[in-house]
Amino acid sequence: MESNILELRKEKSRDAARSRRGKENYEFYELAKMLPLPAAITSQLDKASIIRLTISYLKLRDFSGHGDPPWSRDAPPSKKSRDAARSRRGKENYEFYELAKMLPLPAAITSQLDKASIIRLTISYLKLRDFSGHGDPPWSRDAPPSSKTLKGDVSLSICIFY
């Protein structure tokens, strides 16, 4: 009897994890589609690459509208790990942390977000900027982005949309 309950719990946990991974993969797919790159390239990117490219894209948009870059010129310290999977997860978590810092939300909120929420909020933020006309719309990727910002309005809109 206890064995059946334990097996049922294990199966339920595996199903929940599978569902979370599926949702997360969908959010990554949506984020990759938002990048100003051909679908042939974005379809080949792994999660960490999507995050890195999104961060670079947002930094370049911000830089082109404000002059000097807001980020440090020092590269993040590299950690050598014998376990390749742990190292990859660490790099991916770092990229998520960097992406969350780019969102126009308080640090108290972004520090509590899970990966799928960070991706979802980033997609919402990019869509909102494109929709509001305060970012470059998808059909004019070569045009210089607007220098206007809506930090407070974007924060509120993202929280409501989320």
List the chain domain ranges. Answer: 2-65+82-161
Within a 13 Å sphere around the CA of 154, how many CA atoms are in the beta-carbon half?
24
Q: What's the N-to-C CA distance of the chain in angstroms?
A: 42
- Return the pLDDT at 80: 53
Per-residue pLDDT of 91-137, as tens digits, reads 888 888 888 888 888 888 888 888 888 888 888 888 887 776 655 44
* Burial classification of residue 120, based on how many CB atoms lie within 10 Å of its CB (0-12 exposed, 13-18 middle, 19 or more buried): buried
pTM above 0.85? no
Which range, 24-38, 72-86, 131-145, is most confident?
24-38
Long-range contacts of 8-16 (CB under 8 A, 24+ apart): none
- Residue appearing with tokens 């961060």: 55
Per-residue pLDDT of 146-157, as tens digits, reads 444 444 444 434
Q: How many residues comprise the chain?
A: 162
Q: Which of 53-62, 68-77, 110-119 has the lowest mean pLDDT?
A: 68-77
